[in-house]
Amino acid sequence: MSEKYNLFYFFKQFPDEDACRKYLEKRRWNNSPICPHCCNAQKIYRYKNGKTFKCAHCLKQFKVTTGTIFENSNISLQKWFLTFYLIALSKKGISSVELSKIIGVTQKTAWYLLHKIRYMLEHRNSDNQLRGIVEVDETYVGGKKKGKRGRGSENKTPVFGAVQRRGRLSIIPVENTKRKTLEPIIHKRIKGGSHIMSDEWRAYTKLDTDYEHSIVKHKIKEYVRGNVHTNTIEGAWSHLKRSMMGTYHRPSKKHLDKYCAEYEFTYNTRKESPLAKFNQIIDKNLIRVGYSDITGT
């Protein structure tokens, strides 16, 4: 990590709530407020406190946090921003236990805060299809540490992944690794005509109808054949599992999709600066997220 992007840099840029609020106004409105109630941008009045606005069209009041993940939050903007920044700095993620100690909140509050962010990353990750050479594979994560290896590992959840060579990653927990489950996901996430590379798993046997399809036969210890391999996706799995085991300690199946979304974001922004990633996280969190969105209740 460049020394420029450390915690000293963060607190220099965001020493207090006022600095965070002004930065959010710039990111959200480019310093030209828009009413979140009626979308009017013509006549907006700012109150003397500098934080509250009033729309001349609908006469409603609002703040820069209105309609965002920050609205009605008991967590200060500075703590929200610091959490975003820590996610941007980390390659393996940050646990709720670690975050609670850094920003001075309970572990439960830190968990909820992180899951709000992961929810937004999950629902606002790029929908652009992968294309060109795309490697596909599945892995199993979570559950008990002990158990049989390979496909169908007990107590673990299957995760399907596709990665574009020298490009983006797309991963999602799935119910199983059968063809009827994986094929619709592949067609949704990978552009037709792309060159898919996989192992010999039977779920992939019919892909040559819509894609160019090359196979490496792992069962006979064939892992690379010229340009054909699945090393990129397998490398992504290795890093994902280190994050899951080292940072989150086998997350529950219920919330695995959110952890996968965070890892997908981290992978896809791996070449960007922490500040660029920080700004992306802010931009992705400019809508509200409720408790029911996180818990599914």
Residues 165, 102 share a domain: no
The whole-angstrom separation of Cα 18 and Cα 20 is 5
Task: Count Cα neighbours of 252 within 13 Å in the Cβ-side half-sphere.
Answer: 5
The whole-angstrom separation of Cα 194 and Cα 209 is 11
Residues 141, 96 share a domain: no
For 147: left if phi > 0, alpha if psi spans -120 to 50, otherwise beta; the answer is left
Strand blocks (E) in 82-166: 133-141, 157-164
The whole-angstrom separation of Cα 2 and Cα 103 is 23
Residues 190, 118 share a domain: no
Residues 280, 249 share a domain: no
For 193: left if phi > 0, alpha if psi spans -120 to 50, otherwise beta; the answer is left
Is residue 36 assigned to a domain? no
Task: Read off the pLDDT of residues 98-143 as tens digits, 9 standing for 90 and up.
Answer: 999 999 999 999 999 999 999 998 887 667 899 999 999 999 997 6
Q: What amino acid occupies position 293? A: D
Domain that holds residue 145: 133-268
Count of domains forming the chain: 2
Answer yes or no: are the C-beta atoms of 207 and 185 closer than 8 Å. Answer: no
Task: Read off the pLDDT of residues 208-261 as tens digits, 9 standing for 90 and up.
Answer: 999 999 999 999 999 999 999 999 999 999 999 888 876 766 677 888 999 999
